[in-house]
Structure formats: C-alpha cells, structure tokens
Amino acid sequence: MSSYVIDSRLFRDQFSTPAMRHIFSDEMTVQKWLDFEAALAKVEAKLGVIPQHAADEIIRKAKVELFDLEEIKLEMDRTSHPIVPLLRAIKKVCDGDAGEFVHWGATTQDVTDTGTVLQIREALDEIGGNVVSLHRNVCALAARHRDTIVVGRSHGQHALPVTFGFKVAIWAAEIGRHLRRLEEMRGRLLVGQFSGAVGTLAALGDQGLAVQQALMAELDLGCPQITWHTARDSIGEMVCVLAMTVATVGKIAHEIYSLQRTEFSELEEPFAEGKVGSSTMPHKRNPPACETIIAISRLVRQTVPLAMEAIGAEHERDKVVLQTEREFIARLCCLSDAAIKKAVHVTGDLTVRSDRMEVNLFLQKGLLMSEAVMMHFGNVLGRQEAHEMIYKICMEAFETDVPFKDLLMSNEVIAAAITSDELDELLDPNNYTGLAGHFVDKVLAACQPGDPGN
C-alpha cells in the first residue's frame, strides 16, 4: 500500500501524470544536481578556476545511471545531508584527481535550489502546454455554441437567458489571463542559485561573479541579482499562480458537474462504453473526471499557505523552508498537471445537450423573461412602478404554477397596453440574450494563436 496517491500504482494517474512523475523522480532530481555540477566545472575550467582535465572528467561522469541511488540514500541517512553523499559518489566514479574539483566554491543549497528550478522549468513547459490545449478547447466550444441559448443562473436560480458560448467565453478569458501569468512569472522564477555558503561568493574571491554569470548562461537560467537562499517569494508566486489556474479548472469542472445533474442534463463529461457509474445501480452515468478535478483543485489550494510560510525564512539559510518546499513543490506540480490534463479531456469531448437547454428555458413557464417585461412597461409606467406590478404577478405565477403570460394578460393595465403576439415576443428567450454574441466574438478575437487574450 502506498503512503500517498501519487505513488500508488492504482491511483497515481488520477492525481498525477507520467510526465510529471518523471520530472520529479529521484533519478531526475539527482540528474539535475549532476547537471549543475557539470555546468559549474565546465565554466570554471574555461575561466581557469579548475583544471580542464578535471572538468572534462566530471562532465563525462555526470550521468545518473552511473550512480547507485540506494547507496546515496543510505549515506544521506547516515550523514543527514543531501549533497555530501553525492559529492563523495562523484569522486568515486571520476578517474584521477578530478573529483577533488567538483562543487568548487558552491554550497549545498546552490545545487538543490538550481536543480529544483531546472525541474520546475520542465514542469511548467508541460503544464503550460496543457493549459494552452485547454484554452484552445474552450475557445472552440465558445465559437461552436455562440448562439446556443441556455438558462443563465444566479444564486442557484433561473435568472435570464444567456448563450452557452457566452458562459464558456468567460472561462476562455480567465484561462487566457492564467496563460499570461504563467509566462510572466517565468522570468522571476527561472533564476539559478550560485552564491556560496551565505550568499557572498567569498570562496571564489574576485572570480565569483564571472563564474556565476557563466554558470547561469550555461544552464540557460536567469542570473540572480543577489542570493535568494532565504528569499522564497518566487516559489510562492509559482504556487499562487498554479493554484489560481487549477481553481479555475476546478470551477469549470464543478459547472459541468452541476449541469450534468439529472434534473438539468444540459452537459455531460465524455462517456465511453464500459464506463461504470455504480457497483449496484447499472443506470448511473457519473462524472468521475469532473469529481476528481474538483477534489484536486481543493488539494492544490491548500498548498498556498505552505508556500506563504516558506517565505518567512530565517537568517541566511533555513533548512526548515527547504524541507517544506521539498514536500510540496513536486506534489503541487503533479496535482496541477493531472487536473489540467483531465480538463483538456473533458472539454475536448464535452456533450452539450442543446435540446435540454431549450426545455429548461421554459421550466418556469415564462418567468425567466420577467426583466424583459418589466423593462418594456417601465417605459410606460416608470421602472419602479413596473417592477412592483410585475413582481406581484411573478409571485402569483410562482405560487400557483399558472403560466406567466396568462397572469400578465389577466391584468387590465397590461392587457390594454400590449397584444398577445407582442407579449409572445417579449417572452421569447431568443430575443433577450443582449450582447452575449458580441462578447463571445470579442474574447475569441483575442484568442488567436500566440495571444491568450485579455
């Protein structure tokens, strides 16, 4: 039995993805540490800090498959240190004296922070690509259903008619903003760490800055303005942006979940033959993908307080913060990618039942159009007077289940001012979607490739 769902052979693909598990695997974690050490040796040899032959050997041997991770783990337990066992292992696999020149001028957190950033970069590439696919799906849905009339709801009640495309365009605009946030934060987040024991690069003297700049260029990472050993705001920003993105995904899933209820039956997540809803009720067509997305979105949001705690790091180094981040960064990325990828699947093959949407428009026998009637008579009676009059008729229609039109036409003031055909026009939901189509077009115009919109 696994201690956490991401590690479970049974449940891992519900809460993570193969790509994200690979990025944050032990093998990849150690490889990123080795990538740091190899890049450091390369630039230090070029700058004359260490011998070229040593750098060449370190680079040759900086391959995770050459190392026994179980042995390194045992040494980590014995030494209570993550990097010293690796440095000893590198020395062991390197020929000659090359191992004496590994890690020159660096400190453990330089390695682990930079390694984490390299993993985060790959994770964001994967997550970002899935968010783009989700954005593409919802834009296509919005375009396809630009004019599909559906009940607009507020406070869980029927409000006014909108279009399904309008509803989805709101999702598209929101996802577009998240895409921009994900892109904008990369410059602040994808910054390497190389600053020595307390951040001053004292061990390398006047060569420190040259090594730092060359190392970051070699790793294709931003060069830090100053050490960020205890400045964890960029990690916090990443957590918040991913949490916001997944919160939106969870909201979309919840909307689909709600509208899939039997009483509504307006939407349904993808269904395939063989998908089982219940072990006892053969008729059930449940929304398990949406349910899992909603659950994951709640889990992801709970990571934000941990990230805020991590910003409160102490002095020049704080392992408490690092241990906290070590627990939540990989988990956050795994959960986020799983939720977004599931949302891509759901929105890519979503069943939209426009016939049920049509039926639901008339569940309240015309009451959905009370605002249209009120605004029409507001021009004659004044808005407040019209509201009071229509309100009383609406309440009677609600309590008696008599069609709204019948009660309207039984009112002397209304009957004298409007014909039956004119009232039918007012009560037609197709005539009262306002500028829904315009706003859909506006969102879609800003959703061209390369432009995630406003």
User: What is the per-residue DSSP string for 340-408?
Assistant: HHHHHHHHHT-EE-HHHHHHHHTTTTTGGGHHHHHHHHHHHH-HHHHHHHHHHHHHHHHHH---HHHHH
Q: 285: Cβ–Cβ under 8 A, 6 or more apart, which residues?
A: 268, 271, 275, 277
Query: And the tokens for 109?
Result: 């957190």
- pLDDT for the residue 450: 46
Distance, CA of 384 to CA of 368 (rounded, Å): 19
- pLDDT for the residue 279: 67
Query: And the tokens for 41?
Result: 């040796």
Chain segment 376-429, per-residue pLDDT in tens: 999 888 889 999 999 999 999 999 999 999 999 999 999 999 999 999 999 999
For the chain, the distance separating the N- and C-terminal CA atoms, rounded to the nearest angstrom, is: 46
Among residues 231, 134, 239, 228, the alpha carbon closest in space to that of 185 is found at: 239
- pLDDT for the residue 448: 64
- pLDDT for the residue 102: 98
Q: 206: Cβ–Cβ under 8 A, 6 or more apart, which residues?
A: none
- pLDDT for the residue 381: 87
Amino acid occupying residue 400 = T
Confidence (pTM): 0.94
Chain segment 238-267, per-residue pLDDT in tens: 999 999 999 999 999 999 999 999 999 999
Spell out the domains of the chain, with CATH numbers in brackets. 18-104 (1.10.275.10), 108-197+219-364+436-454 (1.20.200.10), 367-426 (1.10.40.30)
Instruction: Point out the residues that are catalytic.
Output: 155, 278
Helix (H) or strand (E) holding 91: helix 84-93
- pLDDT for the residue 454: 46
Helix (H) or strand (E) holding 4: none
Among residues 28, 7, 5, the alpha carbon closest in space to that of 126 is found at: 28
The residues pairing with 161 across neighbouring beta strands, listed in sequence order, are 151
Q: Which residues of the chain have pLDDT under 50?
A: 449-450, 452-454
